[in-house]
């Protein structure tokens, strides 16, 4: 309830990201008027608009598919090690890593760069790694309609590394399997082998 009241108050006052950054600087004990911080509110606002631009992207528009070139293509297509950067919704701290995406076509193929864009779109929203992994897989199944797909994400979380437990050097791995990737052990094994194979 209090959150709704705060949001209504902010909306009435037309507070900007710059205003909020100035408030934050004051609350942590900084002086927003000192030389080094004068342009910080504008920079922070610009950065957060970029980091959250995924909310404004229509995911369906990413899936411009091709039937030409898809004939007789019934083997796995894998795009490995797609880099991403996002922010966790719990602390708004960065987490980042790489995603591997695979699918088996069913009459249509997708331009390979579109998978990078898909990952980036969902990463440019406040996230948890589990949801990010699932959203990518669900979008592929909904808009590409393949025989199946798989997504594996490996990431480092600064909310753990820089605060709280403060442990570095480990990563979190999540996966989402759909269609034959989930139902057929041989397909799942092939995907996992390709996703984790050393170069």
Among the listed residues 91, 138, 184, 190, the single catalytic one is: 91
170 is annotated as an active-site residue: no
Question: Which of 18, 30, 138, 159 is an active site residue?
Answer: 159
Q: Catalytic one among 87, 135, 149, 157?
A: 157
Instruction: Quick: pLDDT tens for 83-104.
Output: 999 999 999 999 999 999 999 9
**Positions of E strands within the chain:** 65-66, 77-88, 94-104, 109-110, 126-127, 148-157, 172-179
Q: Which numeric CATH code is attached to 59-196?
A: 3.30.1130.10
Q: Which helix (H) or strand (E) holds 41?
A: helix 40-51
What are residue 59's phi and psi, to 5 degrees?
A: -60, -35
- What is the topology classification, in CATH, of domain 2-51? GTP Cyclohydrolase I; Chain A, domain 1 (1.10.286)
Q: According to the model, what pLDDT value does residue 3 have?
A: 56
Is 189 labeled as catalytic in the residue annotation?
Answer: no
Choosing from 90, 168, 189, 196, which is the catalytic residue? 90
Catalytic-residue membership of 159: yes
Ordered per-residue pLDDT tens for the chain, 199 residues: 545 555 556 666 689 999 999 999 999 999 999 999 999 999 999 999 999 999 999 999 999 887 776 677 788 999 999 999 999 999 999 999 999 999 999 988 899 999 999 999 999 999 999 999 999 999 999 999 999 999 999 999 999 889 888 888 889 999 999 999 999 999 999 999 999 887 6
91 is catalytic: yes
Domain with CATH 1.10.286.10 in the chain: 2-51
Q: Is residue 4 annotated as a catalytic residue, yes or no?
A: no
- CATH 3.30.1130.10 residue ranges of the chain are 59-196
Q: Measured between alpha carbons, how far is residue 187 from residues 180, 181, 193 in Å? A: 7, 5, 10
Q: Quick: pLDDT tens for 51-68.
A: 999 999 999 999 988 777
Give the span between the Cα atoms of 183 and 179, in whole angstroms.
6
Q: Which pLDDT belongs to residue 199?
A: 64
């Amino acid at each position: 309830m209090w959150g709704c009241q705060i949001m209504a108050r902010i909306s009435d006052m037309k507070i900007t990201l710059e205003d909020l950054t100035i408030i934050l600087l004051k609350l942590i004990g900084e002086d927003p008027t000192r030389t080094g911080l004068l342009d910080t509110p504008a920079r922070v606002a610009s950065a957060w608009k970029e980091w959250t631009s995924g909310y404004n992207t229509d995911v369906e528009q990413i899936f411009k598919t091709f039937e030409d070139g898809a004939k007789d293509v019934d083997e796995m297509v894998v795009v490995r090690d797609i880099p991403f950067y996002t922010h966790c919704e719990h602390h708004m701290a960065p987490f980042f890593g790489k995603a591997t995406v695979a699918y088996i076509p069913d009459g249509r193929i997708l331009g390979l760069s579109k998978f990078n864009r898909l990952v980036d779109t969902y990463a440019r929203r406040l996230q948890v790694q589990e949801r990010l992994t699932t959203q990518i897989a669900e979008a592929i199944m909904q808009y590409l309609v393949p025989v199946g797909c798989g997504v594996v994400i490996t990431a480092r979380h600064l909310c753990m590394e820089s605060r709280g437990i403060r442990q570095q050097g480990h990563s979190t791995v999540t996966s989402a399997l759909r269609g034959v990737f989930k139902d057929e052990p041989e397909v799942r094994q092939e995907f996992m082998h390709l996703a984790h194979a050393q170069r």
